[in-house]
Structure 1
Amino acid sequence: MLDLTKLARQMQGLSQHLTLEAAASRQRLELAQQHLKNAYESQQDLIDRQEKWRDRILFANATPIEPLETCIDIPVPPKIHTVIATDGSQIAPNHHEIAYCYLLNIGRVVLHYAQNRHPLLDSLPEVFYRPEDLYMSRQWGIRTEEWMSFRRTASEATVLAELACAAKGEAPALAMVDGSLIYWFLEQLPIDARDRILPPILEAWQQMRDAQIPLMGYLSASRSIETMNFLRLLACPHPVPDCKTYCPNQLEKVACKIFEQLRDTSVWATRLKPGQRSTLWRSNSPILELYGDQTIYFCYVHVGTEIARIEVPAWVAENVTMLDQALGLMLAQVQKGYGYPVAIAEAHNQAVVKGGDRARFFALLEQQMIKAGLKNVGTSYKEARKRGSIA
């Protein structure tokens, strides 16, 4: 139980800290804006330096594909279109429950506009209980709970491709997911483990590519600093951006980290008007080397309520017509959802496993275990006591 009386004593110190941080953030923003303007004239030189020294640069950065001053109005989408989205949730394995297993629930949404067709709003649950499902990841030092979330990501992509290909018709379509298409977590995985997650995702993307249905990742409140890190090349005081020689410890205060803690969205919020997108960028994350010809591009869009980061595979970014149409459909989704894409929100609502759903799941499991002749079926004493206080 939270003691609000004791907590209130700490609030004054917190508010003072936030006030000082807000002032420092304004100074960083002004500095970043100035560097961005200076980079307009030297953009190609910065890109050349970035490419030449890419193996020596120790911070994540992106490459602009268009002029840095780009601010493009997103075109109005066609009235007749289809939007597909998936999202996932889970019941994590727990040794204190009646059985050690986990459940993945993938929410599915297909919305048809101006087509006189019924929408699809449902979910696909799947229970994992076999030893190979529960313990395989431990050979790579990965906890079952982590492995469960990795498999959920792959399942979301696979189901999305199935829905998109099934919904393909004459009307334009857009497939959307919540979050990034750059799966940073895969960088730390052993090769054998990674090969069980990434190939199904890329195969699903290829299916959508073959069907000519654009794929898009929507990031709300993005914390990315990839475009700010590109400006660090301009702020570098050394002859060349050779981090390994001049600044090997990036955790220390280095000369070019003048925008530290400043997010990309803060700068683009000062540049974009509602309904506009920023420069198109290519991410240089090391994991993208495994994506083949489906590397990830991104831009920032003023959707009216915030600056959203939009990610697409290369085959969408390189098709101007497809990209413009996809961005228009995305913006319409945000407007229909009062600030957030309605298809993604509904997919989340379909996927989420509430407390009552969890209780009914284990009640159903208990019935089946008793029916199978198992005895002493029940939760641990610890779990039983946590669910009710006797004090």
Structure 2
Amino acid sequence: MSLEFNKILDQIAKMSSMIEALDFDARERLQLALRRYDNLPDINAIQERIELVRQSDISGYRGAVPLDGDVAEPMNAIFATPQLPPSATILAADGSQVYPNEQHPVHYYLINIGLYIYHHGADLLPEQSTIPQLAYHKSDVHDRGRVVSNRTVDARRTLNEMQALSDLAWERRGAARPLVALYDNRLLYWVSSDVTGAEEIVRQYQDALKKLHDSQATLAGYLDRPVSRLVMRLLYLMSLRDAAEIKEKQLELQTAGDLSGLTDRQLFDTVLRPGERSALMVQNSPRNLSFKEFGDDYEIAFFYLKVSSGYRTSIARVDVPMWVARDARAIDELHALLVSQASMQGRNPYPYALTRADEIAVVSSTDKRKLDEMINIELRKKHIEPYRGSAKDFGKVLARSSKRRMERRRN
């Protein structure tokens, strides 16, 4: 039986009315955010407020803060696209996975990493490769007698991506400079406590960052259409009168108070023109502090960037480690190269090298079926009955295929 749409028409109409009201409210809050952004005080005034919320009797601020020292940029500064470097080597990494099936007679999972090298300014063909890894040993796929969770596989894939990128950067450290390493995710990485070996995964991830630093690579994590509210929280914080009001409204600091519901992307989509970036900022959070404690060069900074394909635009958040953030030339080169890369795909404003890394990393449904077939052949050789799916799943397949046959006959 198909969904009876006539029974939800009224609900859809009510939802539409609610969306209209929410949209009006969001426009009002965006105008408020724009006024506060335009009127942000100087770096010293913002730093004084940040020091206040870092005191032990105040908690809850997880927003943006300026960089320290000579590299600090005015928080409402806007930077045009710099000149492209004459040459560059752009590395990109992405990954995909096949999760373990608890009902399968042999438990395993697959992680496939795609690597892509783009030679900017040189008459060289791009290079690509993949690193497929099949995990099947009991110590890899089991944790306290149970198959490892999908979240654990995701965490291991993230680690493998960063390790593969760091290995490639080290291997190509003699290539044309700048050596730009692009990663399709945030750099401020953490894993939940229910992930098997969480602390070791984070430790190895940070070791991979160190290898990228040793390679003198310009590392960047690229987040398309980000949903973060780091600048919104800063704007709300700076709107509060004094320490007494800040203490009173600690809970509101977490949600950006009267700017709650707005994202940084909405602000910068209005503020930035194509090719422009925001100021460099740092996230005030215990997780970022732990990266700084690993080494001052490993604290994560970020900026917002408006890229364009010529047909449409998109706001991205670009994460960079502090060794990149402190290097004005590296930031300019990265800025220009990302704008260039995002203009190369027709209607899709997204870095070309990251798109290609994603394409070669993907494990398709056809690939997965082939993998299952190959493993099942080996199981039969060992006289082990391969997994054929549950009776419930088989029943669904039969029912749906019968329904499709009936519909074809009627048509």
Cα distance, 1:157–1:374 mapped onto 2, change above 3 Å: same
- Contact conserved, 1:85 with 1:110, CA < 8 A, in 2? yes
Q: 2:84 aligns with which of 66, 77, 84?
A: 77
Aligned twin of 1:322: 330
The TM-score, its normalising length taken from structure 2, stands at 0.85
Q: 2:360 aligns with which of 350, 355, 358?
A: 350
Taking the aligned partners of 1:24 and 1:142, their CA distance within structure 2 comes to 47
Cα distance, 1:344–1:376 mapped onto 2, change above 3 Å: closer
Residue 281 of structure 1 deviates from its aligned partner by 0.3
Cα distance, 1:2–1:161 mapped onto 2, change above 3 Å: farther
**Where do 5+ consecutive residues of structure 1 fail to align?**
none
- Any residues of structure 2 matched to 1:167-316 within 5 Å, and which? 167-168=172-173, 169-183=175-189, 185-186=190-191, 188-189=192-193, 193-237=197-241, 239-240=243-244, 242-243=246-247, 246-247=248-249, 249-250=251-252, 257-291=257-291, 292=294, 293=296, 294-304=298-308, 305-316=313-324
- Any residues of structure 2 matched to 1:42-121 within 5 Å, and which? 43-54=43-54, 55=56, 56-65=58-67, 66-97=73-104, 99-121=106-128
Taking the aligned partners of 1:191 and 1:365, their CA distance within structure 2 comes to 27
Taking the aligned partners of 1:191 and 1:240, their CA distance within structure 2 comes to 40
SS of 1:198 mapped into structure 2: helix
Residue 6 of structure 1 deviates from its aligned partner by 4.2
**Where do 5+ consecutive residues of structure 2 fail to align?**
68-72, 404-411
- Contact conserved, 1:110 with 1:163, CA < 8 A, in 2? no
Aligned twin of 1:158: 163
Taking the aligned partners of 1:78 and 1:135, their CA distance within structure 2 comes to 48
Which amino acid counterpart does residue 174 of structure 1 have in structure 2?
V
SS of 1:306 mapped into structure 2: strand
Taking the aligned partners of 1:387 and 1:259, their CA distance within structure 2 comes to 48
Q: Which moved more, 1:268-277 or 1:376-385?
A: 376-385
- Contact conserved, 2:52 with 2:243, CA < 8 A, in 1? no
- Contact conserved, 1:111 with 1:120, CA < 8 A, in 2? yes
Taking the aligned partners of 1:241 and 1:154, their CA distance within structure 2 comes to 42
Cα distance, 1:125–1:77 mapped onto 2, change above 3 Å: same
**How many percent identity over aligned positions?**
27
Residue 323 of structure 1 deviates from its aligned partner by 1.4
The TM-score, its normalising length taken from structure 1, stands at 0.89
Which amino acid counterpart does residue 275 of structure 1 have in structure 2?
G
The structure with higher relative contact order (CA 8 Å, sep 6+) is: 1
Work out whether 1:379 is the aligned partner of 2:406: no
1:295-317 deviation per Cα after TM superposition (whole angstroms, max 9, x unaligned): 11011112131221111000000
Taking the aligned partners of 1:239 and 1:203, their CA distance within structure 2 comes to 39
Residue 377 of structure 1 deviates from its aligned partner by 5.2
Which amino acid counterpart does residue 95 of structure 2 have in structure 1?
G
- Contact conserved, 1:98 with 1:362, CA < 8 A, in 2? no
- Any residues of structure 2 matched to 1:109-148 within 5 Å, and which? 109-136=116-143, 144-148=149-153
- Contact conserved, 1:281 with 1:297, CA < 8 A, in 2? yes
1:307-340 deviation per Cα after TM superposition (whole angstroms, max 9, x unaligned): 2111100000001111111121111111113400
Residue 123 of structure 1 deviates from its aligned partner by 2.1
SS of 1:181 mapped into structure 2: coil
- Contact conserved, 1:178 with 1:217, CA < 8 A, in 2? yes
- Contact conserved, 2:119 with 2:125, CA < 8 A, in 1? yes
Aligned-residue Cα RMSD (Å) equals 2.6
SS of 1:117 mapped into structure 2: coil
Q: Which moved more, 1:67-76 or 1:380-389?
A: 380-389
Which amino acid counterpart does residue 82 of structure 1 have in structure 2?
T
Residue 171 of structure 1 deviates from its aligned partner by 3.6
Which amino acid counterpart does residue 83 of structure 1 have in structure 2?
I
